[in-house]
Structure 1
């Protein structure tokens, strides 16, 4: 369950009659506990409460109190030995009237009326495995409002299906934006009278909802009618009390969908929420999901945390502004010029969605401006920062509209906070009719048409030119917008998932710049457009992106094109999880990359260490792999340059299911013909078999034995399947291979005593790459790579953290998983010259890893390398391996992955400068 689903379940719970017997179980069910879990608790099998309540080990101890004894019951729960023994995080007591709970770990408490406890649902979210608890508690209102609006939206479409059509969907979305404004306005005194909108609907619309749409329509018409025109408009008296709003929000059609009784009830419930708590930072991205059919199925997972957005905005420009504020101190002239600078800063998000980045940037600048005003003694001063300096492009009309609305709300909230209610209200209405959020395709629009450069200079008005610019008496920024900062979180979309139209957009941008542009992620288009924009303006850019644009084959395709414009990487944040509201903090792995053609000598590189610590360093250069060091052109190599054993791709059956055998098929064959089985069946190892310890087999028939093999009816039938599949192929090589169906389509197998096998694709969630040692007779499938009879120290290299970091950086990603490459990852892996002792030490380390695995037989690699449950002896064996190998590299252990990469790239640069002579890898037999 995600946070929105949990909030909805909790809200439904309080609407039911309170039951002393059922409440604890209903509460747990609302937080995602399955019926089987609840059944065991009810039976007493897992309920260890010693006070007659319900105790779930490691989670919560719940007790229903006698009327008026909630506080006393909570104290009993806290003193309970069972609570301590079960390591319960929470205790909770309620009598159906009052509600109290405590987080034992933090000491935080909740005390409220029972009917109000859904307002505190975020307090308990760790019960559901959701780790973004603080962010959710900070935005609990937004989640509640989103849940309610979603219910209303679905109910309205049920009764007005035509409003869900492509033609009318914009009308429906615009209606929702109007509602959001009305709910906010009635709770913040923008409307004269608390709860005016909701109260008017409740009073003037019939209980059977027959005229609800007419009442709302008249309210909307009033808000689009100037006061001077009210008499001619013949508005009902009850609608005439609403102010003139306009600003485009209520212009045009005032048509409203019809309401059922249920929809009217939902509307009134939404209106009774406290909309003063709306957080425009994130609310837009959540409500956006309500109106999108594809996204609604994941409602509640569309959440961009403010800390994550600040990882972009702080190094992009906010840190510099705060530093200038600190330097200014209380100097009035310096503060004045800094304030003037703030008023000219432009923030541009060319994939703005519902405006998260723009809203947060606006609020941060207002905070700095307010500090300036306080230091200058100019409290309650009208802001010089216009909303129109925060511009965006968004493909869809509704998110674009929500972005503008979110900025309007943010402006009012800032005025309220920094200037007071009277000043905020006096200047809020009517809304400005300017539209600074463009609805369109950012990759097709000329960004200069939205914000053209107007000069680049600064006029210094003072006589003393030795003063720093901000210390002048006054500065006149010729550039209408001053500095321009481009930021955002554009759509990623790997090359496989792009539509024909999206491919055409990338082609228009990259075709004359770089080869192999078809392999680029969609987000690459935004980086290139930003670099082009920066050649004609003083813009600096930072985008969130999937880390794949800084890994593998995309690096030599994308980054030379960007660097050719004069841009370089000004700052970066290496891979981290961009989290959402789902259980267990699911999220995509991203990087943040800042580019500029106005870079200072020092650049900031931020990374996350193995234990989660944030590591920051300044450096003279950041290359496209987001490593401190020179730019590197890392390319595939046909053979190793590092003295390691050649690595081959496994054998590809291309068999139509004829040559590969499931265990049950092999069992039946063995029972029917043991002699043929023993001669022609071999163990087969694909990546699934290697990682998860599964069994599989294959037919392996030498050319000289084909006639003997065909005497087996089982084998003859299987070979016929191979012939059918290959002869029906459109590929000439595969069609020709139908003449020898007993052979794998691609064969690279070598006779060996043993083989080291490495999966081509594996999860990034493990701290080490999976690698296995198998008997030589095993056929290694093409989902693996194989090293035949390689010295065992090769396995120590593959199993190291150093190699994990290298592969994760230079190889292509399969979504977020590692996609291993022998030519790009193994053949290029920088290895110092190893002495015989080095090799012996590493061999022992590999043996220790294998022995530690063997001690836990039959656990699979997947079982053993789960980071949460990795056995201590296996972890210790890997740590010894890492220490042994890293001492070979630098005489000590590396401090973090960033340092590992820096050393590896340094070694790589030296190695390709004086390449070693290496044997050519053997080629397979392609089909």
Structure 2
């Protein structure tokens, strides 16, 4: 269950009559516990309570108290030995009137009336395995409102299916935006009376909902008609008390979908929520999920936390503003200069979605401006930060509408906070007919058209704020010479997940620079467009991006082009999880890269620790691999640059499953297993020790193989499978159906390295196998090479190199022979060096053998941040690292940064490269 579903479930529980006997189980069920789990608790099988309550191990101890004895019951639960033994996170007591709970880890306590406990649902989310509790508590209203709006949306589409079609989807989304505004306006005094919109619908519409759509339509018509024109337009008297809103929000069509009794009920329930609690920071993305078919299935998961967004905005420009505020102190002139500067700052998100980045940037800047005004004794001063200086591009129309609405709400809330309700209301209505969010394809639009090439005033025209056309509304800017900060979280899709249209878009953007755009992630288009924008505007940018643009084969394609345009990386975050509200706290792995043609002398490189804290290091230069002090770009090589053995990819089967067998299937195969079967090894088999086998037939043995009926049938099945393939290459292999695509194996041994492996291990997995073993294309292999190679691959310094220059799948290592092994910089080795490293490799293998049948997964396991590596194996690795690192610098390296600095220094010497942008560009 996600956060929205949990909130709905416990709200339903609180609305029902209190059932003392059933409450503990219903409460646990609301947090996603399975029926079988509840059944075991009811029967007493898993209930560990020693005070007559319900105790779920590692979760919560609940008891229904006698009336008036809630506090005493909670104290008894907390003091219970069973609570301690079961490692309960929470204790909870209620008598159906009062509700109390305590988080035993933090000591935080909740005390409220029983009907109000759903307001605190975020407190208990660890029960459902959701750890982003702080952010969810801060957005509790948004989650509740989103769930209610989603139910209304779905119910309306049941009775108005045509409103869900492509032709009318815009109308439906526009209708939802209007409702959101009305709910907010009636609770924040924008409308003249509290609950005016909801109360009018309740009073004027029939209980059977037959005319609900007509009532709402008339209200919308009233809010789009000037007061002086309403009599002429025939506005109903009961709708005449609403203000004139204008701004395009209620223009266009005013028809409304028909309401069922259920839909009308949902609408009234939504209106009865306290919309003063709306949080425009993230509300937009929640509402976006309501109107998006794909996202509605994961409702509540589409969420970008404010702390994550500030990782982009703070180092991009907000930290600098705060520093200037601190430097200004109470100096009126300096404060005025800072305020004037802020009035000209423009924030631009060219993939703005529902406006999260823009809203947060606006609110943060208003807070700084408010402090300036306070210090200058001008606390009531109207803001000089134009809302229209916060611009975005969004592909879809509804998120673009919501982004504008979120900014309008943010401006009003800031005015209330810093200037007071009266001043805020005076300036709020009617809305301006300005369109500062463009609906269109950011990779096709000319960003300079949105701002003007020099920051001069821009004048373009549209009549409709919420119609979201490409042409923008007439807006005059007085911000010539101001700074522009480009930010956001553009889409990243890898290379394989791009549509044909998206691939063509990248090709058009990169066409004049490179013919290798097909190797780039979709997000790279935003990096290039930003760099081009910087050629004509004083601007800086920072994007959340897939980490692949700073790893592996994309680096030598993308970054030389950016360097040619004068771009420098000014700050960056190493890979971390960009979390959301999913029950397992799932998230994509990203980096943040801040860049500009404005070269900052002090650059920041941030790292997220295992505890979730982040720390920074300073540098005068940050390279494309997010390494301080070096801009060298590593280019993949088909042959080793150092004196090491070549490595190749294992054998690709392409056999339809007819030549490969699980170990459980081998015993009953009707063939000579010793002759025709060989162990088959890929990433999983090397790491976890699982067994698979394959039929291996050399050409010389084909005649003999065909004499075996089983083998002959398998060979013919492969032939048929390959011939039926749509791929011409696969069909071409049908003339040798007895074999894999490749038939490589060692004469003496195979040193096998898995392609994918966990980033949690202290060393990369690698193992030595005899000549009978066959490697798949899920592993790389050194055939018949010196065992010394194992010492190199299993070293800390090699892991650090691979981590920096190879691509990753999420945060897992993705090994590459061309990028990681053949480029690995190694000093010239003496005979003694070779002998010492050979001994180190043998010691590692012997240490592993001593723990047979433990696998690499067992021996190198890291659990809860603690390595489970046996002492003798650790000692063998420590000795290996010491021997190898002394070859590099005559001592152990102090840290990974020093290791990388030395590796890149050697790589530069080996390739003749240097760190200039010109040389880097030539490397591509």
Q: 1:533 to 1:70 in 2, by over 3 A?
A: same
What secondary structure sits across from 2:584 in the alignment? helix
Q: 1:742 to 1:323 in 2, by over 3 A?
A: same
872-881 or 682-691, which moves further after superposition?
Answer: 872-881
The 5-angstrom pairing of residues 403-422 of structure 1 reads: 403-422=403-422
Aligned partner of 1:167 in structure 2 is 167
CA contact (8 A) 1:222 1:244 kept: yes
Aligned partner of 1:716 in structure 2 is 712
Q: For 1:746, which of 720, 742, 745 is the aligned residue?
A: 742
C-alpha displacement at 1:381, in angstroms? 0.7
The 5-angstrom pairing of residues 802-841 of structure 1 reads: 802-814=797-809, 817-832=812-827, 835-836=833-834, 838-839=836-837
Q: For 2:698, which of 694, 699, 702 is the aligned residue?
A: 702
CA contact (8 A) 2:859 2:868 kept: no
C-alpha displacement at 1:292, in angstroms? 0.5
Distance in 2 between residues matched to 1:456 and 1:177, nearest whole Å: 32
Q: 1:434 to 1:767 in 2, by over 3 A?
A: farther
Q: 1:153 to 1:455 in 2, by over 3 A?
A: closer
Distance in 2 between residues matched to 1:208 and 1:895, nearest whole Å: 76
The 5-angstrom pairing of residues 416-431 of structure 1 reads: 416-431=416-431
Does residue 795 of structure 1 match 2:790?
A: yes
Distance in 1 between residues matched to 2:892 and 2:89, nearest whole Å: 37
Deviations 1:294-348 (A, max 9, x none): 1111111111111111111111111111111111111111111111111111111
CA contact (8 A) 2:395 2:442 kept: yes
C-alpha displacement at 1:863, in angstroms? 9.7
Q: 1:729 to 1:364 in 2, by over 3 A?
A: closer
TM-score (norm 2): 0.91
Distance in 2 between residues matched to 1:716 and 1:372, nearest whole Å: 85
421-430 or 599-608, which moves further after superposition?
Answer: 599-608
Distance in 1 between residues matched to 2:47 and 2:879, nearest whole Å: 46
Deviations 1:536-564 (A, max 9, x none): 11111111110111111111111111111
Q: 1:876 to 1:506 in 2, by over 3 A?
A: farther
What secondary structure sits across from 1:593 in the alignment? strand
The 5-angstrom pairing of residues 482-561 of structure 1 reads: 482-561=482-561
CA contact (8 A) 2:860 2:868 kept: no
Distance in 1 between residues matched to 2:858 and 2:499, nearest whole Å: 35
CA contact (8 A) 1:206 1:212 kept: yes
Aligned partner of 1:76 in structure 2 is 76
Distance in 2 between residues matched to 1:300 and 1:75, nearest whole Å: 34
Q: 1:662 to 1:347 in 2, by over 3 A?
A: same
Distance in 2 between residues matched to 1:579 and 1:416, nearest whole Å: 32
C-alpha displacement at 1:186, in angstroms? 1.0
Does residue 659 of structure 1 match 2:659?
A: yes
447-456 or 324-333, which moves further after superposition?
Answer: 447-456
C-alpha displacement at 1:838, in angstroms? 4.6
Q: 1:490 to 1:233 in 2, by over 3 A?
A: same
What secondary structure sits across from 1:757 in the alignment? strand
C-alpha displacement at 1:715, in angstroms? 1.2
679-688 or 760-769, which moves further after superposition?
Answer: 760-769
Q: 1:169 to 1:842 in 2, by over 3 A?
A: same
Distance in 1 between residues matched to 2:759 and 2:513, nearest whole Å: 32
Q: For 1:846, which of 839, 844, 847 is the aligned residue?
A: 844
RMSD: 2.6
Q: 1:454 to 1:701 in 2, by over 3 A?
A: closer
Aligned partner of 2:326 in structure 1 is 326
C-alpha displacement at 1:727, in angstroms? 5.1
The 5-angstrom pairing of residues 638-657 of structure 1 reads: 638-657=638-657
631-640 or 518-527, which moves further after superposition?
Answer: 631-640
Aligned partner of 1:786 in structure 2 is 781
What secondary structure sits across from 2:91 in the alignment? strand
What secondary structure sits across from 1:572 in the alignment? strand
Aligned partner of 1:924 in structure 2 is none
TM-score (norm 1): 0.91
Does residue 908 of structure 1 match 2:907?
A: yes
Q: For 2:764, which of 764, 769, 789 is the aligned residue?
A: 769
CA contact (8 A) 1:766 1:867 kept: no
Aligned partner of 1:579 in structure 2 is 579
CA contact (8 A) 1:389 1:481 kept: no
Q: 1:143 to 1:782 in 2, by over 3 A?
A: same
What secondary structure sits across from 1:553 in the alignment? helix
C-alpha displacement at 1:860, in angstroms? 7.0
213-222 or 167-176, which moves further after superposition?
Answer: 213-222
Q: 1:378 to 1:300 in 2, by over 3 A?
A: same
Aligned partner of 2:472 in structure 1 is none
Distance in 1 between residues matched to 2:12 and 2:674, nearest whole Å: 64
CA contact (8 A) 2:746 2:784 kept: no
Distance in 2 between residues matched to 1:848 and 1:368, nearest whole Å: 63
Distance in 2 between residues matched to 1:263 and 1:539, nearest whole Å: 48
Distance in 1 between residues matched to 2:860 and 2:876, nearest whole Å: 17
